[in-house]
Structure 1
Amino acid sequence: MRIFQQLITSKAQIEALSLTFVPDVIFLFASLKFEDIDKALTSIQQKYTQAIIIGGTTAGEIIDQQVIDDSIVLSAVKFNGTKVKLYGKDLPTDVSQYFEVGNKFVQDIDQEDLKHIFLISDVQTLHASNLLKGINHKLKSHISVTGGLAGRESYIGSNYIIDLGSLKRNRVIALAMYGDRLQVNYNAQGGWDSYGVECLVTKSEKNQILEIDGLPALDFYKSVVEPNILSDVKQLGFKHPIKVRNKDHSNPVIRALLDIDESNKSLIMAEEIPAGSYVRIMKANVDRLILGAENAAKTIAQQNKHEHELAILISCSGRRKVLGKLAKEEVEAVVQQFPSTTKSIGFYSYGEISPFFEKPKTSLHNLTMCVTTFSEL
């Protein structure tokens, strides 16, 4: 596997790009604030017409041990024996169809000798879970799926995927990777501290938790978290997400609190959380968050003997908000678990896609660091 990486902060750097090989794939994670972003992506596509160019917009870019804003990070890959093919599907406006869309999307993908799928979409977190459930439903159990949801710098505006070098919306794309030479490892960890006991969701409606242990959900939440969190939930609610355990999740997953509704005393979550789920309020501990990210990578690095040639790091925009200037330490903690020869690239997302370590079924995560490594035998 041959890899070329570049941090791009100006259009002049795009003009100066010069690869010594013809890449199979170019991963691009880009800020919407990059000058003339559409033209910049078109320029890259025109320079490397034979490559599959994919990625998405971000809430911050990652390259090596750096966290950057307003840039494009590029990783061009030439495989030695792995075959790749890109699949894509437009998403309907009717979000109730997303499970079926995921189901049909997988049926379009050739699964013979398929080893891994790297998935990118701009779908909202709330509906991405159903899309993934549809994908899992028809995907062979040994095929792993990792990836993420495109982000943006603020909640105002749109996020986009990069599909063959162009910005697109309302779409899901899958880079299918084939062959026995490809080695893929992945892990997902959060590092959040528990804050109270596990309780039962006794009433919910879509992504609103209405009652917990028979009490109004908002009253329950208020009884646990510090009062200032409720003054600005959209900005501070990330500090107290909710861990969810139910039949859909063999391992508990973290879910972000998006808002509250005082009228019905509900918690508005990033995903539908059905009645019968068990939930526990969590709290941010910066050291533990960084350690969680480090452990996600360490588990991969310690239990696999082969080289990790490329690492893709996808972390949540909410984690970056909580970590602030220490976000760079999260990335450093991950990258330092791998050999110095490992190339690392990634972005801050609106949702992370990964199975847990050595688990076959992929999950949608919030507020989690997900690491995927690639190498060839």
Structure 2
Amino acid sequence: MKIIQASKLKNQDWNYLQEKSALKNPLVLVFGNRYLLEDEEVINNIRNEFPYEHIVFGSTAGEILCCNVHENSISVTAIEFERSSFVVERENILDYDKNAKTLGEALYDKIPKENLKHLFVLSEGSFVNGSSLIKGLEVEIDSKVSITGGMCGDDARFEKTVASYKENPKVGEVVLIGFYGETLEITYSSFGGWIPFGPERIITKSEANILYEIDGQPALDLYKKYLGDKASELPQASLLYPLNVTPEGKKEPVVRTILNINNDDQSMILAGDVPMNSKVQLMMASVDGIAEGAQTAAEFAMKNRKNNPELAILVSCIGRKLVMNQRVEEEVEQVRETIGEKIPMTGFYSYGEMAPFNESTSCELHNQTMTLTLISE
């Protein structure tokens, strides 16, 4: 595997992490600020610098490259596989009447199945129901095939996200990358480090990812009481106080970030499903707890590997970035120290992370986690 990485801050020259050289048919991952990805001049500059066919674009809430976290930047990772291969497909949620499950089924159907090892998802992040998308992808999936990925971001603006494959970035895109090869080794993990607090309550009314009532009370009204003065800062303030949701009949909880609120019916729109009769608690975090959570995620991802990783893709939640603020690079450094100082790292801050629970293959949508995908040939 040969990797070339470069970053470009606004109005500055490209900064290469390895010596610039030509690659053969690489997969090129471009993560960047949404405003930059909507600028045709910027896109043309990227294409001139990386004149390859298979370019995947995704907007972010912060770009991860090596052990640095950038804002208002473009980060590029070009990957030339020597013994493995990849296939990229895309669909747009606006062509599916915003039905993410149907889109997921259609997208998986397009991917060749022979020798498929892993799927990486880069999804629109502002209105796609990530849980439904995963359900669609997994309808016909082989249990040996794992899925990881993330929902695109838009800093803390929550206006819109953009993504694309080959074309210029646009709203509504969901990109699916299939990885193939007998020698390919891909491991993954997801861990948070957030702490539940307050009483455990029951979701008494919900529909998919819309939460209406908790313990028979309007969900938003109850949530605002917990937030106190910070309620006036919704929905941004909700990133600091996500929900810990344990669906009925399941042992493992998932964390759910609130993407938006509806004052008219006192409901909250979350990044993934919140089934009725689930147990729910508020969560909070410390900087140290988040950094330790990233280390734990890295330890899980490295646990049963046969070979050292050659590339790490990090997807971390924007809520973690907001809590850590100027110390945000500490969680990236924890990952680097655990997986190895010389392993190339790329990734982004997201509106939702996708990965199985540790020791599992069935994918889940997470919020407020550090999610890792480690790849080697």
TM-score by shorter chain over 0.5 = yes
Q: Which runs of 4+ in 1 moved over 6 A?
A: none
1:252-273, Cα deviation, whole Å (9 max, x unpaired): 2110134555555444433342
CA distance in 1 between counterparts of 2:141 and 2:356 reads 14
1:72-122, Cα deviation, whole Å (9 max, x unpaired): 111111111101111112223554532122112211211110001111121
CA distance in 1 between counterparts of 2:260 and 2:360 reads 32
- Matched to 2:343, the amino acid is T
**Identity across the alignment (%):** 32
> In the alignment, is the contact (CA less than 8 A) between 2:96 and 2:103 conserved in 1?
no
Tell me by how many angstroms 1:48 deviates. 4.4
CA distance in 1 between counterparts of 2:68 and 2:369 reads 18
Tell me by how many angstroms 1:54 deviates. 1.0
CA distance in 1 between counterparts of 2:36 and 2:134 reads 30
> In the alignment, is the contact (CA less than 8 A) between 2:104 and 2:134 conserved in 1?
yes
Gap change, CA 1:81 and 1:150, over 3 Å in 2: same
Tell me by how many angstroms 1:249 deviates. 6.4
Tell me by how many angstroms 1:187 deviates. 0.6
Tell me by how many angstroms 1:370 deviates. 0.8
The count of residues paired between Structure 1 and Structure 2 equals: 375
> In the alignment, is the contact (CA less than 8 A) between 1:121 and 1:150 conserved in 2?
yes
Three-state SS of the structure 2 residue aligned to 1:274 is: coil
Three-state SS of the structure 1 residue aligned to 2:198 is: coil
Cross-structure match for 1:271: 272
> In the alignment, is the contact (CA less than 8 A) between 1:41 and 1:165 conserved in 2?
no
> In the alignment, is the contact (CA less than 8 A) between 1:26 and 1:77 conserved in 2?
yes
Three-state SS of the structure 2 residue aligned to 1:291 is: helix
1:244-255 to structure 2, matched below 5 A, reads 244-246=245-247, 251-255=252-256
1:182-221 to structure 2, matched below 5 A, reads 182-218=184-220, 220-221=222-223
Gap change, CA 1:7 and 1:263, over 3 Å in 2: closer
Cross-structure match for 1:353: 354
CA distance in 1 between counterparts of 2:185 and 2:290 reads 27
CA distance in 2 between counterparts of 1:56 and 1:2 reads 22
> In the alignment, is the contact (CA less than 8 A) between 1:2 and 1:79 conserved in 2?
yes
> In the alignment, is the contact (CA less than 8 A) between 1:14 and 1:43 conserved in 2?
no
CA distance in 1 between counterparts of 2:65 and 2:99 reads 36
Gap change, CA 1:247 and 1:54, over 3 Å in 2: farther
> Which stretch of structure 1 is more off in the superposition, 152-161 or 364-373?
152-161
CA distance in 2 between counterparts of 1:130 and 1:326 reads 34
Cross-structure match for 2:41: 39
1:214-244, Cα deviation, whole Å (9 max, x unpaired): 3443454356x35123232222222211011
Three-state SS of the structure 2 residue aligned to 1:168 is: coil
Cross-structure match for 1:4: 4
Tell me by how many angstroms 1:123 deviates. 4.4
- Matched to 1:358, the amino acid is E
Could you tell me which runs of 5 or more consecutive residues in structure 1 were left unpaired when the two chains were aligned. none
Three-state SS of the structure 2 residue aligned to 1:133 is: helix
> Which stretch of structure 1 is more off in the superposition, 37-46 or 333-342?
37-46
Three-state SS of the structure 1 residue aligned to 2:99 is: helix
* 1:72 maps to which of 70, 74, 79: 74
CA distance in 2 between counterparts of 1:144 and 1:89 reads 20
CA distance in 2 between counterparts of 1:98 and 1:63 reads 30
Root-mean-square deviation over aligned CA pairs: 2.7
CA distance in 2 between counterparts of 1:212 and 1:175 reads 38
Tell me by how many angstroms 1:371 deviates. 0.8
* 1:176 maps to which of 170, 178, 196: 178
**1:303 aligned to 2:309?**
no
Cross-structure match for 2:341: 340
Cross-structure match for 2:231: 230
CA distance in 2 between counterparts of 1:6 and 1:81 reads 24
> Which stretch of structure 1 is more off in the superposition, 57-66 or 260-269?
260-269
- Matched to 1:8, the amino acid is K
- Matched to 2:155, the amino acid is E
Cross-structure match for 1:118: 120
Could you tell me which runs of 5 or more consecutive residues in structure 2 were left unpaired when the two chains were aligned. none
1:22-33 to structure 2, matched below 5 A, reads 22-33=24-35
Tell me by how many angstroms 1:139 deviates. 1.5
Calculate the TM-score normalised by the size of structure 2: 0.90
Three-state SS of the structure 2 residue aligned to 1:195 is: strand
CA distance in 2 between counterparts of 1:55 and 1:143 reads 24
